[in-house]
């Protein structure tokens, strides 16, 4: 139930909407269906989105975004008290305060995102105390909404957005991404998403080598994307054991999206790029071990298998069987 001091409103009065969902990549992708649906229900509205700068190229692929407002909180944390960082933050806050929005929707639910919402001008909406990840953040909103924390992240974002804009979410999620338009033409490929920032989500390196060999035997080139130096080293070790495998150069997210869109199959741990594959409808096998699939499993229109659960990763044989089924 929403707590609102401003009374009911007509949808005709809502013309400028600001979404706040800065990170991580998986969280950003999980919010994209809410944007698609909001644009369909409010076609005359303009939608802006505040997001971490590294993720802005991906959002620009979504036709419903009228403005992408990048922030650099990850970069700022490295030199928070330096004069250049403070000037950049102040300039960003000044630009944000210069414009007024009809509705500000913070679907992140963290103190840092709530503080951004407070700096913006407009009616601020977010989760209530019982629904939010960091309860203190709810104090920064003008209107608070109840959305069950037991729902999948995609559904939570859709529910909150619908409550703010006055409609009930319906139908399957639509991420606003066109795989056919984005896919590349580099031949038959399979993408192995081995990289994750959380050790408990990792899958044994020997399993990735075996999987890459299985793809190569089927005439598919295994591609091993990476995001950090450690991840690149792992990708190179895997590729060294599989001559057909390739380690692509690090690239902006819009280019990575094209790489994934062109794959015949994606196999990956629970990481942002796995959810990007689901958003694009690419056939995929999801490997879970350090997170709960009922809350963050990939959601998309393509064929997929979700294996493993919190605390128990799937065996190599199970993954290979799922891979064979999807390729068949």
Where on the phi/psi map is residue 219: left (φ > 0), alpha (ψ -120 to 50), or beta? left
pLDDT at 84: 80
pLDDT at 100: 95
8-state DSSP, 224: -
* Cα three-residue angle 20-141-291, rounded to 5 degrees: 55
Domain 11-165 has CATH 3.40.640.10: no
* Range list of H helices, the chain: 25-41, 56-59, 73-76, 83-97, 111-119, 153-165, 179-182, 205-217, 229-240, 253-261, 272-280, 293-296, 316-327
pLDDT at 7: 30
Number of C-beta neighbours around residue 167 at 10 A: 16
Range 179-327: architecture per CATH: 3-Layer(aba) Sandwich (3.40)
pLDDT at 13: 52
**How far, in Å, CA of 217 to CA of 101, rounded?**
55
Mean pLDDT, residues 149-173: 97
Q: Look at strands 304-308 and 189-193 and give their pairing.
A: unpaired
- Give the mean pLDDT of the chain: 92
Contact 213, 242 (CB under 8 A): yes
Task: Write the pLDDT tens digit of every residue in 225-279.
Answer: 999 999 999 999 999 999 999 999 999 999 999 999 999 999 999 999 999 999 9
Q: Where are the domains of the chain?
A: 11-165, 179-327
Which pTM was predicted? 0.90
Lowest mean per-residue pLDDT among 6-20, 140-154, 254-268, 302-316: 6-20
**Does residue 188 have a cis bond before it (omega within 30 degrees)?**
no
**How far, in Å, CA of 194 to CA of 208, rounded?**
7
Q: Give yes or no on whether 11-165 and 179-327 have one common fold.
A: yes
**Torsion angle in degrees (nearest 10) through CA of 170, 150, 115, 128:** 80
**How far, in Å, CA of 4 to CA of 18, rounded?**
18
pLDDT at 4: 33
Q: Higher-confidence residue: 19 or 295?
A: 19
**How far, in Å, CA of 14 to CA of 17, rounded?**
7
Beta bridge partners of 267: 192, 285
Task: Write the pLDDT tens digit of every residue in 63-102.
Answer: 999 999 999 887 877 787 788 888 887 887 887 888 899 9
């Amino acid at each position: 139930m929403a707590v609102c001091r401003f009374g009911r409103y007509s949808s005709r009065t809502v013309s400028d909407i600001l979404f706040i969902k800065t990170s991580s990549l998986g969280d950003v992708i999980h919010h994209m269906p809410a944007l698609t649906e909001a644009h369909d229900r409010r076609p005359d509205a303009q939608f802006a989105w505040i997001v971490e700068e590294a993720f802005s190229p991906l959002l620009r692929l979504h036709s419903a975004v009228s403005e992408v407002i990048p922030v650099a909180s990850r970069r700022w944390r490295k030199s928070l008290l330096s004069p250049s960082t403070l000037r950049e933050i102040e300039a960003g806050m000044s630009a944000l305060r210069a414009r007024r929005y009809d509705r500000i929707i913070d679907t992140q639910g963290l103190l840092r995102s709530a503080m951004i919402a407070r700096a913006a001008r407009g009616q601020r909406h977010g989760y209530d105390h019982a629904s939010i990840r960091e309860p203190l953040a709810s104090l920064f909103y003008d209107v608070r909404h109840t959305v069950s924390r037991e729902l999948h992240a995609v559904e939570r974002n859709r529910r909150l957005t619908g409550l703010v804009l006055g409609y009930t979410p319906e139908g399957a999620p639509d991420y606003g991404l066109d795989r056919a338009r984005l896919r590349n033409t580099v031949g038959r490929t399979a993408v192995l998403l081995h990289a994750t920032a959380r050790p408990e989500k990792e899958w044994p390196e020997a399993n990735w080598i075996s999987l890459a060999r299985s793809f190569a035997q089927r005439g598919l080139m295994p591609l091993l994307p990476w995001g950090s130096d450690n991840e690149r080293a792992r990708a190179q070790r895997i590729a060294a054991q599989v001559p057909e495998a390739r380690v692509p150069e690090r690239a902006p997210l819009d280019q990575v999206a094209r790489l994934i869109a062109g794959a015949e199959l994606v196999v990956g741990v629970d990481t942002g790029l796995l959810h990007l594959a689901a958003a694009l409808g690419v056939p995929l096998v999801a490997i879970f071990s350090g997170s709960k699939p009922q809350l963050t499993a990939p959601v998309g229109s393509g064929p997929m298998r979700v294996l493993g659960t919190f605390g128990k990763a799937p065996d190599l044989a199970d993954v290979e069987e799922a891979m064979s089924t999807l390729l068949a």
